[in-house]
Amino acid sequence: MERRHPLKTLKRLSVLLIILLLVISCGTSSKTKKENKVLGVEEQFQIAFRAAERGNLEEAVTEYEKVLKLDSKHSRAHLNLGLVYGRQGKWDKEISQYKKAIGIDPKFAEAYFHLGVAYAEKGNLKEAAAQYQKALQVNPNYVEALNNLGNIYFRTGNANDALSAYKKTVEIKPDYARGYFNMGSVYRQQGNIEEAVNSFKKALEIDPRYALPHYHLAFIYAERGEFNLAIEHCDLAGKLGIVVDPKLLERLKPHR
């Protein structure tokens, strides 16, 4: 039997150890390169978008900031970062991001719209209306901007202008249930009850689970003495999440 010399065996082990270390080193280096890979702008944007979608707002802010480090003129990233700040209640930061988006792209109707929403939430209705109008200058068929502009007119006592805006929303989008509901609200305030009922019914034809038209119809039918219909719409409104006025419930109680 051949006997191995101790020194030769030691040398073999040393060589094997060096090879093993080189293999491990190469593997680690390759892994590190993968981890340190620089993401593209749109890939990074999608990471931020998904974080916001999951409700991880702090993570979304961090990821959108990374997008803007890669491309400071990414108007959509500024817009979406503003939306995240809005969800966090950081109104000034929200407004700042929308303004940056508009500075990059003056034709960005969505940025004007969300800037209007932010101003309305802060109670600055005049500035909100101005931003909705700018959105409509870029895109005259922007239904949500028209609707929100109508809401401001309604809140500030300009019922006719509000009605005009709401009518335009359903001209542009005939299945826009909110537009019909808002028309009904104006008609009801003006005392035009038949048109109010027709508008609320039209909203419900489009969306039977729209709670507010049910609720308004319950009041109208109760006022007319049509209690079966009032009870029907009142119950549906309650099932769909409306907290019903106790006075209405009391009025309908004897007719159940």
pLDDT of 141 reads 98
Q: pLDDT for 207-252, tens place per residue?
A: 999 999 999 999 999 999 999 999 999 999 999 999 999 999 999 9
> pLDDT higher for 107 or 32?
107
Between the two ends of the chain, the Cα-to-Cα distance in Å is 107
Question: Residues 28, 54: contact at Cβ < 8 Å?
Answer: no
pLDDT of 22 reads 41
pLDDT bucket at 38, cuts 50 / 70 / 90:
low
Q: Report the b/e string of 172-200 with b at 16+ CB within 10 A.
A: ebeebbbbbbbbbbbbbeeeeeebbbebb
Instruction: Give the single-character DSSP code of 122.
Output: T
- 186 vs 163: CA distance, rounded Å: 7
Instruction: Give the whole-number percent of the chain exceeding pLDDT 90.
Output: 85
Q: What is the pTM of this model?
A: 0.81
Question: Residues 241, 229: contact at Cβ < 8 Å?
Answer: no
The stretch 160-184 carries a mean pLDDT of: 98
- 178 vs 41: CA distance, rounded Å: 37
The stretch 77-91 carries a mean pLDDT of: 96
Q: Does residue 128 sit in helix, strand or coil?
A: helix
**Paired tokens of 124:** 């600055």
Statement: residue 6 has pLDDT above 50: no
pLDDT of 39 reads 78
Instruction: Give the single-character DSSP code of 48.
Output: H
- 87 vs 93: CA distance, rounded Å: 11
pLDDT of 236 reads 98
User: Over the chain, what is the mean pLDDT?
Assistant: 89
Q: pLDDT for 122-136, tens place per residue?
A: 999 999 999 999 999
Residue type at 206 in one-letter notation: I
